[in-house]
């Protein structure tokens, strides 16, 4: 039997634990608040460029952190510093290092100074590019600035748990999941829920029934714009009520809570986590009555647009103030009449608050010193070199001025250092002395250092870099086995699904019917509806799904039904997928493969080949344009050996053409960044890709008839393009260049021209003007004639090449017109 005294002791211990936790939470909130207050000052005094902080949102984040477990993922936005601090993934010093853009990944683990402060991340990868054990750490996918841009990826992060729990083939991937118990936590501001991406994600997560907890931090504003202009009924939970699950239908669990109510928040977050984690049901938590004590960001002041009443209300409802009041008022009386309190008097809290302030002040100082020390040492080297150069130069007075101006800058940057030293070079261009070489070397090495800091990790630089994957040619059996090309796709995907347990393929019509062109025919039946699945019509979140799944160790192949509709997904590819590795300094990756089909068909929205638009937007993603299905299948095989994201565009009019079926399906590999010369020739180099290649090949025969022997190069890979610089070797032979594609004028053809003429120095070999032949500026009109008069035809190509030859030798090639 338990004695009465034991009960008391137990209670006492329990209460002490509780008290410790509450006071620790309050301390974190205070530290976070002090960071926001001091952070704003750092921006306003010019030490940092821009500040956007988490003040006014502290308390719900403490509750979220308590419910957040190792293995879980966050996909959130710039208000979440308190959460990151509460899970132990952000210190005050790191917070300031990010604000100052300290380029050392150890100082600013969020992005090595590449992102604005307030964009949070954890490290999923070791330095060598291998995955860490994500089930043993707290995970935050790296934030992006476009509002609601964090939503699509959240869907995939949540869906990964569902796949790991239900799909046997991946249950050995223990670095990523323990029985699918991980919850993906989204955070978003109230105003950003107006974005389509939010609604698309909400709907898709409800359909998929994934363990996602969506948190809306509602402060009634989006910068200066009030909720009445943002949200119907001014309430996101009100309008999403129809998503509430009931006894008959799946849906969401929806909670509404005030953001200053610590006790309720802790309770609700525990409930929400349990529902999502155990039942795999998505949850919406609408956290209302939050505030912005310092306004939206350092770019303006909220007194301009909030009335006195609102400002007063915000002061009273500041969640940290409210928690403080609660701590002071708290009294628990036991049955025996004992009274428990968190603090004896306000004095205790004042001490805690003072300590928090002191901690942040010194963290700020340390971060600034660490940041500045690196620059200072570079600065003193530069000053010394300028001094020595001045001593030797007849323009010494000008150079000394550069030096003194540099030393007078109160917060010097690398830009100042390089700018001063580079400005010195013209002063000494005609002089020769040893110090000049020292200066030149200083500039070279500073530039190389800057490259490492600001320009690396665009694509994988690890041993898994796709560009390093070795080519393997298709092997054919002795008897020629010609098949419809879509069979090659299908059988290769079959081989892929068999070989790679972690591959999942999904898209509109990709599951049950095996895609609109039957490239996945029968594979859902064979591998189950988790590995080959249908999705709703929602391109942006199909990509987001892929990004999230890839970030949790799966190898998704996300299908966008037609290239024309990729534009719906292009924003998320550009802002999120393409920048992920870069913006985390190589600490996160999403090797997502995007499969689509396009180029030549007929119709304004059924013929697009907007390659220039795409390649200009997705640097960081490989863009591959195979001319046939064997090449395409080989690309998928290559990509699965590497760890870069890629877009593969199959030729829509190629599925029914005959190709020979290789025997090494799933194994042969098309190399990335390598062109293929598909016809040798001597007179002109014609560079093309995708569906126009076949027309060029046809035309080559007609040109032969008139004595013109063209060399045809298949680009195959637009990003990266021709890493071995093979095109220029062809130009050295033919001295003439024509680029043919079906993009708009100045689209991908202009890019190819720049690569070949400028980067590969092709201009040196040219005897005539380098040319492009593209589609018209407008989109492709419908029907055979629409196509003929919109896109380059066989006759257009023939005449263009003939005209180039005519210009060179009018006698031999008489004018056609
Ligand atoms: C796509 C996009 N549009 C506009 C912006 C500029 N912007 C940044 S934050 C913001 C307001 C967001 O308000 P809300 O979602 O309520 O978040 P809060 O800052 O209030 O927490 C806007 C318009 C942006 N970053 N991205
Ligand atoms: Mg808001």
CB proximity list for 747: less than 8 A, separation 6 or greater: 610, 611, 612, 613, 741, 774
Does residue 191 line the site of ligand 1, with CB under 6 A?
yes
pLDDT at 248 over 80: yes
Instruction: Indicate the pLDDT class of residue 334, thresholds 50, 70 and 90.
Output: confident
pTM for the whole thing? Answer: 0.96
Of the candidates 665, 702, 733, which has an alpha carbon nearest to the alpha carbon of residue 800?
702
> From the CB of 119, is ligand 1 less than 6 Å away?
no
Closest CA to 189 of 238, 140, 225, 241: 225
CA of 69 from ligand 2 middle (Å) equals 27
Rounded Cα gap, residues 398 and 400, in angstroms: 5
Q: State the greatest distance between any 2 C-alpha atoms of the chain, in Å, as a whole number.
A: 116
**Which of 226, 317, 606, 725 does the annotation list as catalytic?**
606
User: For position 653, what pLDDT does the model report?
Assistant: 87
Residue 351, C-beta contacts closer than 8 angstroms, at least 6 positions apart:
none
Residue 5 clears pLDDT 70, i.e. is over it: no
Atom of ligand 1 nearest to the CA of 52: 19
Q: Residue 642 in contact with residue 592, Cβ under 8 Å?
A: no
Q: What is the pLDDT of residues 339-373, one digit of tens each?
A: 999 999 999 999 999 999 999 999 999 999 999 99
pLDDT digits (tens, 9 = 90+) for 31-86: 999 999 999 999 999 999 999 999 999 999 999 999 999 999 999 999 999 999 99
606 part of the active site: yes
Minimal-distance CA residue to ligand 1 atom 20: 222
What average pLDDT score do residues 163-173 get?
93
Cα gap 817→806, rounded to integer Å: 11
CB 469 within 8 A of CB 638: yes
Under 8 Å between Cβ of 94 and 167: no
pLDDT at position 9 over 60: no
Summarised one tens digit per residue, pLDDT across range 538-582 is 999 999 999 999 999 999 999 999 999 999 999 999 999 999 999
Q: Is 217 in the pocket of ligand 1 (CB under 6 A)?
A: yes
Atom 1 of ligand 1, nearest CA residue: 146
Closest CA to 762 of 797, 738, 798: 738
Take atom 18 of ligand 1 and give the residue whose Cα is closest.
Answer: 189
The residue-averaged pLDDT of 318-327 equals: 98
- The verdict on the CB of residue 70 being under 6 Å from ligand 1 is no
**CB neighbours of 63 closer than 8 A, spacing ≥ 6?**
262, 265, 266, 268, 269
Q: What is the pLDDT of residues 464-481, one digit of tens each?
A: 999 999 999 999 999 999
Instruction: Kindly state the tokens that stand for 549.
Output: 């799944």
Angle between helices 414-424 and 396-408 (to 10 degrees): 180
Q: What is the pLDDT of residues 384-394, one digit of tens each?
A: 999 999 999 99
Task: Please report which confidence band the pLDDT of residue 12 belongs to, taking 50, 70 and 90 as the band edges.
Answer: low
pLDDT at 510 over 90: yes
190 lines ligand 1 (CB under 6 A): yes
pLDDT in tens, 396-436: 999 999 999 999 998 899 999 999 999 999 999 999 999 99
């Amino acid at each position: 039997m338990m004695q009465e005294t034991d009960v008391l002791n137990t209670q006492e211990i329990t209460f002490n634990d509780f008290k410790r936790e509450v006071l620790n939470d309050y301390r974190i909130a205070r530290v976070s608040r002090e960071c926001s207050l001091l952070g704003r000052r750092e921006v306003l005094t010019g030490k940092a460029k821009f500040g956007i902080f988490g003040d006014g949102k502290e308390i719900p984040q403490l509750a979220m952190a308590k419910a957040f477990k190792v293995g879980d993922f966050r996909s959130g936005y710039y208000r979440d510093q308190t959460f990151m601090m509460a899970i132990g993934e952000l210190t005050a010093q790191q917070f300031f290092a990010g604000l100052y853009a300290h380029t050392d990944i150890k100082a600013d683990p969020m992005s090595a100074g590449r992102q604005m402060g307030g964009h949070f991340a954890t490290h999923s990868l070791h330095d060598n590019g291998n995955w860490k054990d994500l089930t043993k750490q707290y995970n935050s996918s790296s934030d992006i600035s476009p509002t609601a841009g964090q939503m699509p990826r959240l869907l995939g992060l949540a869906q990964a748990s569902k796949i790991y729990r239900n799909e046997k083939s991946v249950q050995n991937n223990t670095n990523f999941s323990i029985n699918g118990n991980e919850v993906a936590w989204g955070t978003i501001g109230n105003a950003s829920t107006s974005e389509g991406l939010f609604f698309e994600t909400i709907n898709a997560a409800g359909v998929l029934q994934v363990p996602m907890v969506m948190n809306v931090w509602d402060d009634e504003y989006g910068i200066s714009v009030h909720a009445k202009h943002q949200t119907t009924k001014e309430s996101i939970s009100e309008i999403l009520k129809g998503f509430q699950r009931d006894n008959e239908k799946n849906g969401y669990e929806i909670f509404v809570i005030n953001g200053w109510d610590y006790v309720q928040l802790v309770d609700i977050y525990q409930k929400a986590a349990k529902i999502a984690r155990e039942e795999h049901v998505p949850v919406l938590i609408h956290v209302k009555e939050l505030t912005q004590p310092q306004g939206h960001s350092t770019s303006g002041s909220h007194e301009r647009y909030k009335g006195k009443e609102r400002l007063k209300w915000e002061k009273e409802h500041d969640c940290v103030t409210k928690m403080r009041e609660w701590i002071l008022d708290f009294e628990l009386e036991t049955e025996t009449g004992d009274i428990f309190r968190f603090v004896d008097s306000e004095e205790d809290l004042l001490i805690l608050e003072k300590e928090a302030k002191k901690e942040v002040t010194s963290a700020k100082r340390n971060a600034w010193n660490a940041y500045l020390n690196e620059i200072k040492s570079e600065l003193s080297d530069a000053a010394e070199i300028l001094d020595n150069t001045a001593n030797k130069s007849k323009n010494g007075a000008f150079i000394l001025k550069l030096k003194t101006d540099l030393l007078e800058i109160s917060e010097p940057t690398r830009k100042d250092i390089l700018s001063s030293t580079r400005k010195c070079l013209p002063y000494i261009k005609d002089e020769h002395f040893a110090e000049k070489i020292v200066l030149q070397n200083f500039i070279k090495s500073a530039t190389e250092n800057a490259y490492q800091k600001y320009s690396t990790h665009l694509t994988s630089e690890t041993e898994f870099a796709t560009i390093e994957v070795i080519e393997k040619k298709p092997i054919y059996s002795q008897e020629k086995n010609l098949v419809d090309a879509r069979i090659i796709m299908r059988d290769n995907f079959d081989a892929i699904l068999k070989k790679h347990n972690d591959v999942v393929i999904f898209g509109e019509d990709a599951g049950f019917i095996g895609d609109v062109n039957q490239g996945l025919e029968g594979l859902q039946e064979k591998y189950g509806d988790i590995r080959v699945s249908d999705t709703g019509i929602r391109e942006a979140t199909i990509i987001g799904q892929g990004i999230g799944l890839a970030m949790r160790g799966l190898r998704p192949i996300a299908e966008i039904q037609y290239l024309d509709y990729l534009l719906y997904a292009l924003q998320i590819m550009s802002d999120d997928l393409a920048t992920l590795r870069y913006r985390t300094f190589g600490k996160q990756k999403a090797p997502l493969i995007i499969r689509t089909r396009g180029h030549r068909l007929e119709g304004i929205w059924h013929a697009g080949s907007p390659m220039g638009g795409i390649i200009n937007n997705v640097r960081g993603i490989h863009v591959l344009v195979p001319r046939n299905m064997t090449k395409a299948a080989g690309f998928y095989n290559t990509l699965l050996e590497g760890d870069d994201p890629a877009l593969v565009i199959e030729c829509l009019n190629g599925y029914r053409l005959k190709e020979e079926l290789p025997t090494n399906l799933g194994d042969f590999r098309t190399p990335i960044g390598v062109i293929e010369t598909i016809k040798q020739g001597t007179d002109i180099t014609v560079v093309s890709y995708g569906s126009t290649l076949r027309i060029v090949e046809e035309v080559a025969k007609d040109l032969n008839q008139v004595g013109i022997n063209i060399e045809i190069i298949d680009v195959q890979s637009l990003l990266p393009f021709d890493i071995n610089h093979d095109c220029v070797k062809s130009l050295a032979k033919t001295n003439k260049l024509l680029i043919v594609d079906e993009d708009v004028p100045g689209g991908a053809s202009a890019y190819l021209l720049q690569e070949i003429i400028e980067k590969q120095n092709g201009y040196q070999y040219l005897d005539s003007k380098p040319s492009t032949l593209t589609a018209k500026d407008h989109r492709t009109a419908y029907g055979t004639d629409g196509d003929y008069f919109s896109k380059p035809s066989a006759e257009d190509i023939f005449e263009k090449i003939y005209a180039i030859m005519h210009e060179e030798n009018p006698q031999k090639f008489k004018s056609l017109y």
